[in-house]
Amino acid sequence: MEMIDSLRSLKGLSCLDLSFSSCISNQLLSSLADEGLPVKRLVLRRCSNNGYQCSFPEIYNLLSKSHSLKHLDLQNVRFLSDYRVDELSVHLRDLLSINLNHCRNLTESIFFKLVGKCPFLEEIRMKYTCIGKLGAKEEKYRSLMDYVVRPSMKSLHLSSNQFLNDETIKVFLNTHSRFDVCY
């Protein structure tokens, strides 16, 4: 409770990094959401509460009330799936960068959805995910690529994806010719 009260008093807080914290409760995330702090950078990398990760509803609630968020780090949040990140993306329209490294249930499908829903996105980190598992074929994503608002993507980090192949990389490059692919 002391930590919650302390964070609530920081009305001008623009960066909140709770990386590797082992005492992040759902109550803390709910309290932060209720305060509506003007956080621009939020890092929840490997956060847990006594070994258990924070839950999706609390993260969703926090992001839904973080209207100034520009940088989001959810590295190694194990319960994330393409579907759940798609749900979160509704609240990430102004996002500039996202780190989804080590979220092993994510595929190229969420990459295309993020690009479509977050028009200002400059950087996506998706190392150690399942990029390529669905077999990205350009025809498969043609309908999405036709209406996607092309962001000024600058970098895409894809290293250590066991399913990544030439075909998937070609689809990414055909979709966005102005960014650096790091793999």
Tens digits of residue pLDDT in 7-51: 667 777 889 898 887 777 778 788 888 888 788 999 999 875 555
Calpha distance 38→160 (Å, rounded): 34
Confidence of residue 165 (pLDDT cuts 50, 70, 90): confident
pLDDT for the residue numbered 46 = 83
**Can you read off the two tokens belonging to residue 85?**
């990140």
Cα atoms found within 13 Å of the Cα of residue 90, Cβ hemisphere only = 10
**Can you read off the two tokens belonging to residue 21?**
């914290």
For the chain, give the mean pLDDT.
Answer: 81
- Given a cut of 70, whether residue 53 has pLDDT beyond it is no
Backbone φ/ψ region at 160: left (φ over 0), alpha (ψ -120 to 50), beta? left
Calpha distance 122→18 (Å, rounded): 23
Confidence of residue 149 (pLDDT cuts 50, 70, 90): very low
Please give the span between the terminal C-alpha atoms of the chain, in angstroms, as a whole number.
43
pLDDT for the residue numbered 95 = 95
Q: Average of pLDDT values for 83-99?
A: 95
Confidence of residue 52 (pLDDT cuts 50, 70, 90): low
pLDDT for the residue numbered 146 = 47
Calpha distance 76→129 (Å, rounded): 10
Q: With contact defined as beta carbons under 8 Å apart, do 74 and 104 qualify?
A: no
What's the angle, vertex CA 128, arms to CA 126 and CA 56, rounded to 5? 70
